[in-house]
Amino acid sequence: MRNRLNVQPQSLKPPSTGNRTVRIVVLVLVAVVLLLAPLNLPPFANQTLVRIGVYAVAVLGLNIVMGYTGQVNLGQIFFVGLGAYVTAYGVKQGWNILLVFVLACLIAGIVGLLVALAAARLGGLAIAMVTIALPIVGVPLAKRLEGFTGGSQGISARFTDAPDWSGLYNDQWQYYIILLVTAAGFLLARNLVRGKYGRAFGVVKENEAVAASMGVSPYRTKVLAFTVASIFGGASGFLYLAAVQYTSPETLSFGHSISLLAAMVIGGAGSIAGSLIGGAYYVLVPLLTNAVDPGLTTVSQGAILLIVLFLLPEGLVSLPRVLRRITFRNRDRRGAGDPQRTVPATAAGAAPEKQAIQHQAEHQAIQDETDQQQTIQHQTGRQDQA
Amino acid sequence: MRKNTRPRGVLGIVAVAAVIALSASGCTRGGTNQGGGSNAASPGITDSSITLGITTPLSGAIAGQGTCTVAGVTAYFGALNAAGGVKFGDGKTRTVTIKSYDDGYDPQKSLANFQQMVSDNVFAATAGLGTPTNRAFREAAISQKVPQVLVMTGDPLFSDRKQSPWQLGFVPIYQNEGAAFGKLIAGSGQPHKVAILSQNDDYGKGYVQGFKDAIKGASNISVVGEQTYEATDTSVDAQLTQLASSGADVFFDAMSITPLAIASLQKAQQLGWKPSWFLPSNTSSPAAILGPGGAAAYPGIYSVSFAKAPQSPAFAKDPDVVKFLADLKQYAKYPDMPAFPHCMWSYMVGATLEQAFKTMTEPTRDSFMTALRNVKDLQAPLMLSGTSVDTTTDGQPAVSSVLVQKYDGKGYATVQNFG
């Protein structure tokens, strides 16, 4: 349900009021379920949900820079680790936890900005190289800066034990902390990618020359996307420490960055809901393989990655869309297609019915026009300001 | 415009729903499995069985060692289960089930695995390999009062009773090993020049510290070169070249990375530098490291051990070794000659656990910890004579005594003198 709300802006546009009521009801239901769940679930389920939240935020950040803006980032785990270390240090120093959270995001964001200022000048693969360097530099750095990081033995910090007044268990308390931050993060990201910046990201991803000709600076857009991704990484690091309560140089090892990337691709690149699925994949698959045969973790992850890439190149989030497409195709073959029916805008535009495509194309054209107008308006607005 | 009105309405409804939900629910979780009376059995133990959990790297760079930590314990208890089970101190005979979990040397995953263990009703976590991975769930284990014992890390924290009431390390701490070698060459009476290469972390520092403490005051030993490398480095050629030029005749190489150890054995030969080597116990495997590294070219490769090496011809017919290899094959699906000492270590973990099981008087974790901290002078199978399991000393792991060994072309043999 979530993905329909989030992934396809088009499906939100039709102004039927009945539809809106349904959406509100669904949203409220989801919210109530999310709020009530930890009180009824066993601790292990809560702990698992907590970790899903942690990695969903990290994947979300990665999605903004890679999925939406098309810039290869192989260093996201560095920002997660940075956020975790800042949090651990802050907690050890006894700082206010809100301040620690802000610092975790801010420091990660500043480092991300500095890296991006340099890296975004370079094209395509060069950015990937720079981002590879981050975790590779990060691990030895974390080992050497013993005063801050506790060296290779790591640093542990507890700050998410449930306070007495709440009457909650620790796992439930952690769940609510992480739900709060994750929900806020997803809401912010959704607004970001659906607003003017999201459109700028999209144009830069498609074609930088076109972006420049429309007055969208590819450089600034890339820097922005990278910085936002780093901030999400820092937030994820804060959550990591809230959930794991320990961090060590192993946290930011390069391999995990690749796992995050795989999680993003499997969930769905360029999709908000896909980030959530990616986070779930990152956490759940190792648990499942543990239950089946703990010797098969890497093999099964590789197999899942290949299967998803072959069958659902747009990630698991596209599963409902693909299923719908298949049912349409079948109905078309039987000659029972309903031409008036609105086809959800598939990215590939592979819906077989001509009318539907036409309809969709019109819809798209109108929308593109308004989008462009908005972009132009926004651009001129910005120029005026400047 | 539409957008502006909608979220506010939704927010209101969500807020109300949240308030209702929170106030209505209260605590649905009544008596969880924690606490309970002193006589009630802890989770994971019944009248006929007990379940142990191992979280260890089964994938990634140190999967070989990790697989061994599971194989040894599984083999040990597999044989006992086949013979009917273990007779516990409370008079009941139980079979021992081992559940293994892959953490890939990722602290976050080992914590997840620990949480999974708790939900799988595991009685105790044991034998897991890795310092960060064990540290990641140490506090959780303490707060949930779940034993995390006989773990494979040289980190002294796990053997400190005040800080780690529910933990106990198994293998000697790094300092123990470095000191044993330092003592040997200091006692040789001959002048020796030593070059030191160490991993720049607590592991390498622990070895070097133990070594230097042991040679303190020995006038025949001089340290002529000292270099470090990072655990993430892929080559130590530069350091080796530097050290080779120091003209040292003894090389103390505190290294934990298997490929690097092989590469440095090869590189020193290329440089024409042929000192006597010291290698830590976990990077001194004859099959996995010394053979590929061409160690036979050196006058001597020394390491420390407390376990009989199954590869060594000296132990080929040893009854412990024969039974160990047969158990590995039959119960742990590990048909090959173990490439890492962790297989032997975790077999001994099995024996130590059995000893604790035999003396624990109640089926509780408390009783288990008391029993486990009372194992003394246990000569576990595969242990070299002169070493033993002793869990009674605060600050020391279960095994703190090691013997210096010399490579004999196939395996290791204990030596009393250097040279």
Token look-up 């992934």 returns A7
Give the contacts of B78 (CB within 8 A, at least 6 positions apart).
B327, B330, B331, B332
Question: Hey, of B56, B68, B108, B202, which one would you mutate to test binding to chain A, going by the most A CBs within 10 A of its CB?
Answer: B108
Contacting residues of B for A297, CB less than 8 Å apart: 58-59, 102, 104
User: What's residue B39's pLDDT?
Assistant: 61
User: What's residue B56's pLDDT?
Assistant: 92
Element (H, E) at B254: strand B250-254
Give the contacts of A87 (CB within 8 A, at least 6 positions apart).
A100, A101, A104, A157, A237, A238, A240, A241, A242
- Contact: B132, A153; criterion CB under 8 Å: yes
Whole-angstrom Cα distance, residue B73 to residue B53?
Answer: 11
Q: List, as one string, the DSSP characters of B33-59.
A: SSS--SSSPPTTB-SSEEEEEEEE--S
Q: What is the mean pLDDT of residues B66-87?
A: 92
Question: Hey, of A21, A25, A39, which one would you mutate to test binding to chain B, going by the most B CBs within 10 A of its CB?
Answer: A39
- Selecting from B67, B107, B109 the residue whose C-beta is nearest the C-beta of A286 gives B109
pLDDT class of B284 with cuts at 50, 70, 90: confident
- Selecting from B22, B155, B231 the residue whose C-beta is nearest the C-beta of A153 gives B155
Whole-angstrom Cα distance, residue A98 to residue A120?
Answer: 31
A384 min Cα distance to partner chain B (Å): 25
User: What's residue B188's pLDDT?
Assistant: 85
Whole-angstrom Cα distance, residue B136 to residue B114?
Answer: 9
- Contact: B232, A139; criterion CB under 8 Å: yes
**Interface confidence (ipTM) of the complex:** 0.76
* Residue of chain A with shortest Cα separation from B205: A152
Q: Is B124 helix (H, G, I), strand (E, B) or coil?
A: strand
Inter-residue contact B121 to B141 (CB < 8 Å):
no
Q: Is A133 exposed, middle or buried (0-12, 13-18, 19+ CB in 10 A)?
A: middle
- Contact: A156, B113; criterion CB under 8 Å: no
Q: Decide if B1 touches A, using CB distance below 8 A.
A: no
Mean pLDDT, chain B, integer: 85
User: What's residue A228's pLDDT?
Assistant: 94
Q: Is residue B167's pLDDT more than 70?
A: yes
Contacting residues of A for B32, CB less than 8 Å apart: 43
- Contact: B60, A244; criterion CB under 8 Å: no
What does the CA dihedral B102, B108, B110, B116 come to, rounded to 10 degrees? -90
A213 min Cα distance to partner chain B (Å): 30
Element (H, E) at B392: none
User: What's residue B36's pLDDT?
Assistant: 42
Q: What is the mean pLDDT of residues B310-336?
A: 87
Q: List, as one string, the DSSP characters of B256-299.
A: --HHHHHHHHHHHHHTT---EEE--GGG--IIIIIHHHTGGGSS
Output the pTM of the full model.
0.78
- Selecting from B28, B139, B140 the residue whose C-beta is nearest the C-beta of A40 gives B28
Whole-angstrom Cα distance, residue B338 to residue B64?
Answer: 9
DSSP class of residue A153?
G
Q: Which two tokens stand for residue A40?
A: 């009824």
Q: What is the distance between the terminal CA atoms of chain A, rounded to a whole angstrom?
A: 42
Residue pLDDT tens, chain A, 386 long: 444 444 444 444 444 556 788 888 888 898 888 888 888 888 888 989 999 999 999 999 999 999 898 888 898 999 999 999 999 999 988 899 999 999 999 999 999 999 989 888 887 778 888 888 899 888 888 888 888 888 778 888 888 888 888 888 888 889 999 999 999 999 999 999 898 898 989 888 888 888 888 888 888 998 999 999 999 999 999 999 999 889 988 888 888 898 899 999 999 888 899 999 999 999 998 888 888 887 777 788 888 889 988 988 888 888 888 888 888 887 776 655 454 544 444 444 444 444 444 444 445 544 554 444 454 444 444 444 43
User: What's residue A169's pLDDT?
Assistant: 85
- Contact: B13, A28; criterion CB under 8 Å: yes
- Contact: B113, A140; criterion CB under 8 Å: no
Q: Is B93 helix (H, G, I), strand (E, B) or coil?
A: strand
Whole-angstrom Cα distance, residue A73 to residue A62?
Answer: 7
Q: Is B412 helix (H, G, I), strand (E, B) or coil?
A: strand
Whole-angstrom Cα distance, residue A15 to residue B208?
Answer: 73
Q: What is the mean pLDDT of residues B335-344?
A: 86
Q: Is residue B98's pLDDT more than 60?
A: yes
Q: Is residue B147's pLDDT more than 80?
A: yes
Q: Decide if B144 touches A, using CB distance below 8 A.
A: no
Q: Is residue B34's pLDDT more than 50?
A: no
Whole-angstrom Cα distance, residue A75 to residue A55?
Answer: 14
Q: In chain B, which among 164-203 make CB contacts under 8 A with chain A?
A: 200-203
User: What's residue B59's pLDDT?
Assistant: 85
Number of other residues whose CB lies within 10 A of the CB of residue A369: 10
User: What's residue A18's pLDDT?
Assistant: 67
Q: Which two tokens stand for residue A28?
A: 């409220």
Contacting residues of A for B58, CB less than 8 Å apart: 294-295, 297
Inter-residue contact B70 to B113 (CB < 8 Å):
no
Contacting residues of B for A248, CB less than 8 Å apart: 107, 132, 135-136
Q: Decide if B392 touches A, using CB distance below 8 A.
A: no
Contacting residues of A for B68, CB less than 8 Å apart: none
Domain ranges of chain A: 1-40, 43-252, 325-385
Inter-residue contact B129 to B69 (CB < 8 Å):
yes
Q: Is B100 helix (H, G, I), strand (E, B) or coil?
A: strand
Q: What is the mean pLDDT of residues B209-231?
A: 89
DSSP class of residue A156?
E
Q: What is the mean pLDDT of residues B245-264?
A: 91
Q: In chain B, which among 78-137 make CB contacts under 8 A with chain A?
A: 100-102, 104-109, 111-113, 115-116, 118-119, 131-133, 135-137
pLDDT tens profile B110-142:
999 999 999 899 999 998 998 889 999 998 999
Inter-residue contact B296 to B271 (CB < 8 Å):
no
- Selecting from B27, B29, B201 the residue whose C-beta is nearest the C-beta of A143 gives B201
Contacting residues of A for B59, CB less than 8 Å apart: 295, 297-298
- Selecting from B21, B59, B101 the residue whose C-beta is nearest the C-beta of A32 gives B21
Token look-up 């939100």 returns A12
- Contact: A248, B22; criterion CB under 8 Å: no
Element (H, E) at B98: strand B93-102
B262 vs A202, B208, B232, CA distance in Å?
Answer: 49, 20, 16
Whole-angstrom Cα distance, residue A200 to residue A69?
Answer: 8
Token look-up 């996201």 returns A76
Q: Decide if B157 touches A, using CB distance below 8 A.
A: yes
- Contact: B135, A43; criterion CB under 8 Å: no
Q: Which domains does chain B have, with CATH numbers?
A: 49-172+316-401 (3.40.50.2300), 175-305 (3.40.50.2300)
User: What's residue B2's pLDDT?
Assistant: 44
Q: Is B407 helix (H, G, I), strand (E, B) or coil?
A: strand
* Residue of chain B with shortest Cα separation from A12: B3
Instruction: Please give the backbone phi and psi of residue A71, each rounded to the nearest 5 degrees, phi first.
Output: -100, 125
Greater confidence (A76 vs B231) lies with: A76
Identify the CA nearest to B302 among candidates B170, B132, B188, B181. B181
Q: Is A80 exposed, middle or buried (0-12, 13-18, 19+ CB in 10 A)?
A: buried
- Contact: B107, A40; criterion CB under 8 Å: no
Contacting residues of A for B115, CB less than 8 Å apart: 43-44, 47-48
- Contact: A143, B230; criterion CB under 8 Å: yes
- Selecting from A28, A153, A297 the residue whose C-beta is nearest the C-beta of B10 gives A28
User: What's residue B346's pLDDT?
Assistant: 92
A267 vs A6, A55, A63, A234, B1, CA distance in Å?
Answer: 14, 12, 10, 21, 32
B53 vs A82, B110, B125, CA distance in Å?
Answer: 31, 11, 5
Q: Name the E strands within B112-218.
A: 124-126, 148-151, 167-169, 192-199
Whole-angstrom Cα distance, residue A192 to residue A56?
Answer: 17
Whole-angstrom Cα distance, residue A12 to residue A365?
Answer: 16
* Residue of chain A with shortest Cα separation from B9: A24
- Contact: A245, B139; criterion CB under 8 Å: yes
User: What's residue B4's pLDDT?
Assistant: 45
User: What's residue A37's pLDDT?
Assistant: 85
A257 vs A133, A199, A278, B232, CA distance in Å?
Answer: 11, 27, 13, 16
- Selecting from B10, B25, B201 the residue whose C-beta is nearest the C-beta of A36 gives B25
User: What's residue B357's pLDDT?
Assistant: 92
Element (H, E) at A277: helix A272-292
Q: Is A26 helix (H, G, I), strand (E, B) or coil?
A: helix
Token look-up 């595969």 returns B382
Report the percentage of chain B scoring pLDDT > 70.
Answer: 91
Question: Hey, of A47, A171, A190, which one would you mutate to test binding to chain B, going by the most B CBs within 10 A of its CB?
Answer: A47
Instruction: Please give the backbone phi and psi of residue B16, each rounded to the nearest 5 degrees, phi first.
Output: -60, -45
Identify the CA nearest to A69 among candidates A189, A241, A163. A189
Q: Is residue B250's pLDDT more than 80?
A: yes
A286 vs A259, A296, A297, B249, CA distance in Å?
Answer: 12, 9, 6, 48
Element (H, E) at A341: none
Greater confidence (B383 vs A17) lies with: B383
- Selecting from A35, A39, A246 the residue whose C-beta is nearest the C-beta of B107 gives A246
Whole-angstrom Cα distance, residue A65 to residue A7?
Answer: 16
Identify the CA nearest to A378 among candidates A207, A196, A189. A196
- Contact: B112, A24; criterion CB under 8 Å: no
Instruction: Please give the backbone phi and psi of residue B261, each rounded to the nearest 5 degrees, phi first.
Output: -65, -40
Element (H, E) at B397: none
